[in-house]
Structure 1
Amino acid sequence: MEISLDKHSANQASVKIKLNEADYQPKVEAKLKDYAKKANIKGFRPGKAPVSMIKKMYGTSVLVDEINDILSSSLNTYLKEQTFRILGDPLPVFEDADKIDWKNQKEFEFEYKIGFVENIDFKLDDSLNATAYKVEMSDSELEEAIANLRSQYGKMTNPEVSEENDFIYGDLKSEDGSFEKTFSLPLSKVEKKSLKKFVGVKKGDVIEMDPSKAITEDLAQTVGVEEDEVSKLSGKFTFTVQNINRTELAEFNQEFFDKLFGPDQVSSEEEMRSKVQEIISDNYNKEAAVYSDEQLKDKIIASAKIELPEEFLKEWLFKANEGKVTTEQVEKEYPIYAKQLTWTLISNQVAKDNDIKAEHEDVIEKTKEMIREQFASSGMGAQMEDSMDMFVDNYLKGNEGQNYMQMLTSVQNDKVLAFAKEKAGVKEETISTDKFKEMLEN
């Protein structure tokens, strides 16, 4: 057997394997003899059929199977001995496959395309200039959040006369009769100058309006038409009031507190405000932590300048998911895959160089945290903790063990990121929610 490597570029190569008769024939003969011992062929007692007959019947299929086994094991062993890191799986070259004469040929040559990376060098110091962001919620945002909760849990009423922030249900008609629609109009979406027409009205009143000027926010969605129909909502219209809907804000009482947080978790307005602020701030800062981690990863990836075998990887992704994706989809998703792959290479290198390992106990704890978060708003805290071991065991055994492996990878990634933050001297910065939203948009 001869195995040779031909590098086409810094990250792509081909591996050629030449087999002669001595490499495969002993295994083929042994397999055919084993077939003969077990064969049950008409005209012969079980296991007494001549080997020559067995060879004629099964010789080619056995030869193909044995050569495939030899190729697979030999290629894997050869690639493991190399210093570079193989990406994806070797891709067989089928150009001359139809020319193989399995019945008469004695020597065979096979070729595989491979993609790899040689060295993985990256920065892990304060030159990365990385920042961990903490989001601070303003008093006005807290008041707005509480007002929204009071509205959400408030009581719906139907007053006689409308006020600002009511919903007016009625019929919208164009002057020429070409358009008619019944819908509920939130007065919060009415332009300020036009709002006075809608305040102080009662059931049966008729309001003259130009929808395109009066409703300045989400016109199509508000009226309930498709975007291509918006052009019809310009000119003289009438809106006939059928009903007025108003939400009375929920009072600060135990019933409201229990609806928000569960029975007897909060007993005063002060506690409620503190709890709302804590929950919203926690949500913002979880999002900020993810954002900060991604920014750090991007900086480390950029410092590495790892050149992936793009052409090879796209071909491999298409063939590995054959029938499930198109070449257009592979092209579109490749940048995301390339970033994930590059970070995985770096993360594994950091873990290897610094003996960072995900222990079984870490996997258990991270799974518990995930389950607690999922059940956080269900009010099943005590019952869940009593059955936590069962929840954890069921989850980690699910998906044929893939859940455990994914959680193991996640734990290692967390440890690598924690190590990277320490080495990079990540600075902390407190920002407003508006600033954070702006950063997310950009």
Structure 2
Amino acid sequence: MDITLDKKSPTEALIKITLKENDYQPNVEEKVREYARKASIKGFRPGKVPTGLIRKMYGKSILVEEINRILSESVNNYVKENKLNLLGDPLPDLKKAESVDWENQKEFEFDYSIGMVDDFKYDISDKAKVTRYKIELDKKTLDETLDNIKEQFGKQTNTEKPVKGDDFMGTLSSADGELTNEGIIKFNYLSKGGEKKLLGSKPGDTVELDIKKDFKDAHAVSHALNIGEDKAKELAGNFKFSLDKINHVEPAEMNQELFDGVFGKDVVKSEKEFIEKVKSTVEENYNRETGYYLDREIRDLLVKNTKMDIPGNFLKEWLLRSNEGKVTQEDVDREFDDYVESMKWDLIKNKIAEDNEINVEHEDVVNQAKAMILQQLGGAGAAEQLMEHMDAFADNYLKAENGQNYMRLYGELRDNKILELVRNKISIKEKSVSLDEFKKIVEKESK
């Protein structure tokens, strides 16, 4: 057998394999004899079927099976022995394979296209700079949050005369009746014109609402009609709203009952403590979001600053063939840049992990599963009661979905370790911003 590498470029090559008769024939003959020993054919005793008959009946399929085994094994071994850093899988030359004359050929040639990535360097020194945003709740956002909490824990009643902030229950229908939904129109869905119309209504009334003018935006329309936002954008004209009930919420008072309802009994004992606890809790939640944004910025910076040649033509062909008709050429072309960026990030992560000997132990995965399950079952309060069952819970969870849960947690832990290492090495400048400022930053970056 001859196997050679024909490099077309630094990132694309052909693995060429030539098989001579003595490379495959001994195994083919052994398989023929094995078939003869096991075959059950009418007119012959078990184990006495002539090999000539087996060769005539099954010879071609045995030959194809044996050569495919040799090819697969040879390509894999060649890649490992020559330490080729492949992207995707080797792709056989289909035209060449289809032209094989299995009945008469004794010598066979096969080609496999491969895509490779050359060695590359990444920079996780303090020369790499990103910004960590810290959200500080301004008075306006804090007041809105407190109002929302008081409404959430307030007393709900039905009223005959609506006021600002009430919700309207009924049926919203298009003029032709083809589109209809029984549900709630929340006050914050409405524009000034819509507010005026519904504030002047009472249960039993039918109100005409201009779907474009009387709602704030397509997002509000999509919720009012329970349809997708894209479809909501296409709607126009007057809709009829048959009003059944008006829901009014009397906000909860700022007292110990509210404090206990939100944070648990006696966790906070004064209005000042309550406001500070709300502020710190909301800031913590938002800063979790800024942490996700920081990690995305780190990923984008490393991908952008890491020079890496990619075999574009090979990857497009591999994506088409490996997805077996599930995607079209147009799909591949449209999503290709995002795919390449994701692939580069995976390569960079793998190299960082290898260079810094980052590993995830089985015990780490089990402990992460236990922590996640405890949180779902009630947090630390449930730990004492459930501790003796946690090993079984974790084991069942990690084995579920054919082991996919295990691999998902393993991947998350590995990514966290890699990103923690990077965060400790690069230069991170902290900047305090309001929630509105952070939203504008994210919106600008996403364009």
Short-chain TM bin: 0.7 to 0.9
Distance in 2 (alpha carbons) for counterparts of 1:170 and 1:337: 46
2:155 is aligned with 1:139: no
Amino acid at match of 2:361: E
1:165 — aligned with what?
A: 165
Shift of 1:186: 5.5
Note the 1:31-50 alignment, pairs <5 A. Answer: 31-50=31-50
- State which of 286, 294, 302 in structure 2 corresponds to 1:300: 302
1:339 — aligned with what?
A: 341
Note the 1:38-437 alignment, pairs <5 A. Answer: 38-159=38-159, 161-167=161-167, 203=202, 215=214, 217-218=216-217, 221=221, 227-228=233-234, 230-232=236-238, 245-253=247-255, 255-261=257-263, 268-375=270-377, 383=385, 385=387, 387-437=389-439
1:176 — aligned with what?
A: none
Distance in 1 (alpha carbons) for counterparts of 2:438 and 2:303: 23
Amino acid at match of 2:398: L
Distance in 1 (alpha carbons) for counterparts of 2:295 and 2:258: 37
CA contact (8 A) 2:399 2:406 kept: yes
Distance in 1 (alpha carbons) for counterparts of 2:263 and 2:73: 59
For residues 362-401 of structure 1, what are the alpha-carbon distances to aligned partners after superposition, in whole Å with 9 as ceiling and x for unaligned? 2233333433454458985655555433332222212222
Distance change in 2, residues 1:204/1:47 (3 Å): closer
| Secondary structure of 1:407 counterpart | helix
1:18 — aligned with what?
A: 18
* The 10-residue stretch of structure 1 (400-409 or 376-385) with the greater mean CA deviation from structure 2: 376-385
* The 10-residue stretch of structure 1 (147-156 or 219-228) with the greater mean CA deviation from structure 2: 219-228
Shift of 1:88: 0.8
Shift of 1:160: 5.6
Distance in 2 (alpha carbons) for counterparts of 1:223 and 1:41: 71
Amino acid at match of 1:218: D
Distance change in 2, residues 1:320/1:211 (3 Å): closer
Task: Please list every run of 5 or more consecutive structure 2 residues that lacks an aligned counterpart in the other structure.
Answer: 174-180
Shift of 1:206: 9.7
Task: Please list every run of 5 or more consecutive structure 1 residues that lacks an aligned counterpart in the other structure.
Answer: 174-180
2:176 — aligned with what?
A: none
* The 10-residue stretch of structure 1 (150-159 or 67-76) with the greater mean CA deviation from structure 2: 150-159
* The 10-residue stretch of structure 1 (7-16 or 323-332) with the greater mean CA deviation from structure 2: 323-332
Shift of 1:171: 11
Distance change in 2, residues 1:282/1:368 (3 Å): farther
| Secondary structure of 2:288 counterpart | helix
Distance in 2 (alpha carbons) for counterparts of 1:346 and 1:153: 48
Q: How much identity, in percent, do the aligned residues show?
A: 42
Amino acid at match of 2:316: K
Distance in 1 (alpha carbons) for counterparts of 2:357 and 2:48: 59
Distance change in 2, residues 1:108/1:275 (3 Å): same
| Secondary structure of 1:318 counterpart | helix
Shift of 1:346: 1.0
1:5 — aligned with what?
A: 5
* The 10-residue stretch of structure 1 (389-398 or 144-153) with the greater mean CA deviation from structure 2: 389-398
Distance in 2 (alpha carbons) for counterparts of 1:193 and 1:325: 46
* The 10-residue stretch of structure 1 (58-67 or 47-56) with the greater mean CA deviation from structure 2: 47-56
* The 10-residue stretch of structure 1 (58-67 or 126-135) with the greater mean CA deviation from structure 2: 126-135
CA contact (8 A) 1:202 1:244 kept: no
CA contact (8 A) 1:126 1:423 kept: yes
2:36 is aligned with 1:30: no
Amino acid at match of 1:139: K
Aligned length: 431
Amino acid at match of 1:25: Q
Distance in 2 (alpha carbons) for counterparts of 1:297 and 1:191: 40
CA contact (8 A) 2:40 2:46 kept: yes
| Secondary structure of 2:132 counterpart | strand
Distance change in 2, residues 1:254/1:390 (3 Å): farther
Alpha-carbon RMSD across the aligned residues, in angstroms, is: 3.7
TM-score normalised by structure 1 residue count: 0.83
CA contact (8 A) 1:130 1:296 kept: yes
1:178 — aligned with what?
A: none
For residues 288-329 of structure 1, what are the alpha-carbon distances to aligned partners after superposition, in whole Å with 9 as ceiling and x for unaligned? 111101101111111112122122122212222214333333
Distance change in 2, residues 1:187/1:47 (3 Å): closer
CA contact (8 A) 2:96 2:111 kept: no
Shift of 1:83: 3.8
CA contact (8 A) 1:164 1:188 kept: no
CA contact (8 A) 1:16 1:112 kept: yes
CA contact (8 A) 2:212 2:236 kept: no
Distance in 1 (alpha carbons) for counterparts of 2:395 and 2:39: 46
Distance in 1 (alpha carbons) for counterparts of 2:205 and 2:399: 65
CA contact (8 A) 1:191 1:213 kept: no
| Secondary structure of 2:6 counterpart | strand
Amino acid at match of 1:153: F
Shift of 1:195: 6.9
- State which of 422, 440, 443 in structure 2 corresponds to 1:441: 443
Distance in 1 (alpha carbons) for counterparts of 2:75 and 2:171: 75
Distance change in 2, residues 1:401/1:190 (3 Å): closer
CA contact (8 A) 1:262 1:379 kept: no
Distance in 1 (alpha carbons) for counterparts of 2:306 and 2:138: 39
Distance change in 2, residues 1:405/1:240 (3 Å): closer
